[in-house]
Amino acid sequence: MFDKTATCRVVVARPAGLHARPSLAIAETVRRFRSRVVVRSGKDEADAASVLELLSLGAGQGRVLTLTAKGPDADQVLEALRQLFAHSFGMGDE
């Protein structure tokens, strides 16, 4: 099977930005899939499976992130990540 590449954009809506708990939720979600996901914030990028790399982006509220997935389930992993961002990582308002 051929690897597919898919890209989407999401906005960090949480007032605290992309802190430890959302970063952990992203990394855990990505690890359930076979595709590799890279998160870009401006000129910086991070492996979405790494909490520390995600934290290094310093993505605050309102920041637009570009997610790029490459692998056999690229569309599925991006949809799972879009849902995380859309539903505030299941954390409600903090």
d(CA 82, CA 25): 12
Spatial neighbors of 41 by CB under 8 A, at least 6 apart, are: 57, 58, 59, 63, 65, 66
Query: Is 19 noted as a catalytic residue in this protein?
Result: yes
DSSP-assigned letter for residue 92: -
The single residue of 19, 21, 36, 82 carrying the catalytic annotation is: 19
Catalytic sites, residue numbers: 19
